[in-house]
Structure 1
Amino acid sequence: MSRDEKSQSKTKQELDRIVFIGRTFEEYVQMFNLHISELVGKKILDCPAGACSFTALGCKASLNVTASDIAYDHKVDDLQRKGQLDITHAMETLERAKDNYVWSYYGDVQELSEQRRQALQDCTQDMRKHPERYVSAMLPELPFGDEQFNIVLSAHFLFMYSDRLDYEFHKNTIHELLRVASEEVRIFPLTDLTDTRYELLDRLILELEAEGLRVTEVKVPYEFMRNGNSLLRIRKI
């Protein structure tokens, strides 16, 4: 096997480990309890952003949004193909387990699939037009300056994978998100993949408060995973 073939094989293996699925701008507004008028003039980071369309549509709405994700060092065409495959697989899985979810927002699996595909399309189109908005990074380290952003949003990563990401990783990642935020960090949801509230969340909140941060759990007008209708808001005082 040539060097180029080895490199392509390694790239494919790395891409295979990524799940490239995202949420729409409207979902972000609900999940993070956002008021768009309050975001005007702010610098916002979405991390990890995956195939979410918040950056694409937010910038169209004159917001200043940057997306960061480990996936962004791959070619856009490859990510789009991977995203389509991931959505198909996810919807097949959801169809078999749909009674485990709350469908008040989406209605059914078909509508959810359409929203996921719309987010993927909006995201990848914007990546082609404005690649500078999409910055590759691997948490818990970010290639941004201290307090470069006013607000950092982080969805469907921390807490969800507590079975494979330990407490120190969670805490180190939150500290890194706080490092690049001048005002606040919002994390959604607060449950793991079994719909259970992150078992070390109270400890984490106490430790963050001891550092002088203002931490609150906020109910939001969105729920898909059962019990997944709260965010963690961490504010610098």
Structure 2
Amino acid sequence: MSKVEQRKKLALERIVFIGRTYEEYLNMFSLTPEELQGKKVLDCPAGACSFTALGTMAGLEITACDIAYDHSCEDLKNKGLQDIEHAMEQMEKVKKNYKWSYFKDISDLKTNRLNALENCYTHMRNSNNRYIPVTLPSLPFKTEEFDIILSAHFLFTYADRLDYQFHIETLNELLRVTKKEIRIFPLVDLEGKKYEHLDKLVSFLVEKDCVVEELIVPYEFQYNANSMLKITKG
């Protein structure tokens, strides 16, 4: 039995299936399509983002991976629709934690989240081989299989439930499967507080001969979430 087959499937009700748009990704990671042309890109974890779908249509070579992809496209779309409704209801209560310039209002945000879900669902249904189920910190990819890895709204976002050891193990695995670069966004948790072990983690990466930069990006929806960590292998 393969490692993938041995993986324990996460119950669908425990998965939040909401994603960002292709345009958000380019802004969050301060990238242009031209910079990604000719590179193998991994989106990890990708959720219901439309980056892989629209990027592939634009001629980019992108693979998406997520624990959610163990489930069928239809189940994930239905879960995504429910999650978006729930998230928008909750957003009303915490509107003050967000800057309403990138999105005009909650209605505009909802439209973007629905568009991302629909694009992801349609592409997943037609190009399922680009959506790989994984359970971090383990990845089923070859060493140095990708040129660049993008990781959004996961590691530091959920620092309250992902401990430092998990961060280290995940980063080691991401370093293994990339030839050159990892970009992580944002550097704050759900309350907008910077990841408390960031300095310690950066020191760990520098000891592994990585160049680590904190860069301001042209995207800020959640207050204080306007920078990314760019990690370049030595």
- TM-score tier by shorter-chain length is over 0.9
Residue 227 of structure 2: which of 216, 223, 230 is its match?
A: 230
- Counterparts of 1:142 and 1:210, CA distance in 2: 23
1:186 Cα deviation after fit: 0.3
- Counterparts of 1:20 and 1:214, CA distance in 2: 33
Residue 99 of structure 1: which of 82, 96, 100 is its match?
A: 96
Q: Is residue 71 from structure 1 mapped to residue 75 from structure 2 by the alignment? A: no
TM-score, L = length of structure 2? 0.95
One-letter amino acid matched to 1:189: P
- Counterparts of 1:57 and 1:193, CA distance in 2: 27
One-letter amino acid matched to 2:201: L
Q: Deviations over 1:117-161 (max 9, x none)?
A: 000000000001000000000000000000000000000000111
Match of 1:199 in 2: 196
- Counterparts of 1:146 and 1:100, CA distance in 2: 39
1:191 Cα deviation after fit: 0.2
- Counterparts of 2:166 and 2:62, CA distance in 1: 25
Residue 36 of structure 2: which of 33, 39, 58 is its match?
A: 39
Q: What runs of 5+ residues in structure 2 fail to find an aligned partner?
A: 1-7
Match of 2:146 in 1: 149
Match of 2:211 in 1: 214
One-letter amino acid matched to 2:115: Q
Q: Deviations over 1:168-206 (max 9, x none)?
A: 100110111111100100000000111000010011101
For this pair of structures, how many residues does the alignment match? 227
Q: Secondary structure at the residue paired with 1:67?
A: strand
Q: Secondary structure at the residue paired with 2:187?
A: coil
- Counterparts of 1:212 and 1:166, CA distance in 2: 23
The runs of at least 4 consecutive aligned structure 1 residues that moved more than 3 Å come to none
Q: What runs of 5+ residues in structure 1 fail to find an aligned partner?
A: 1-9
Q: Secondary structure at the residue paired with 1:221?
A: coil
State the identity as a percent: 56
Q: Is residue 26 from structure 1 mapped to residue 23 from structure 2 by the alignment? A: yes
- Counterparts of 1:148 and 1:140, CA distance in 2: 16
Match of 2:132 in 1: 135
1:99 Cα deviation after fit: 1.6
- Counterparts of 1:165 and 1:207, CA distance in 2: 17
Structure 1 or 2, whichever has the larger Rg, is 1
1:164 Cα deviation after fit: 1.0
User: How do 1:145-184 and structure 2 match up within 5 A?
Assistant: 145-184=142-181
- Counterparts of 1:77 and 1:217, CA distance in 2: 38
- Counterparts of 1:218 and 1:129, CA distance in 2: 36
One-letter amino acid matched to 1:201: L
1:107 Cα deviation after fit: 1.1
Q: Deviations over 1:18-71 (max 9, x none)?
A: 000000000000001012111110000000000000000000000000000000
One-letter amino acid matched to 1:43: K
Q: Secondary structure at the residue paired with 2:79?
A: helix
1:207 Cα deviation after fit: 1.3
Q: Is residue 16 from structure 1 mapped to residue 13 from structure 2 by the alignment? A: yes
- Counterparts of 2:21 and 2:69, CA distance in 1: 18
One-letter amino acid matched to 1:72: Y
TM-score, L = length of structure 1? 0.94
CA RMSD across the alignment: 1.1
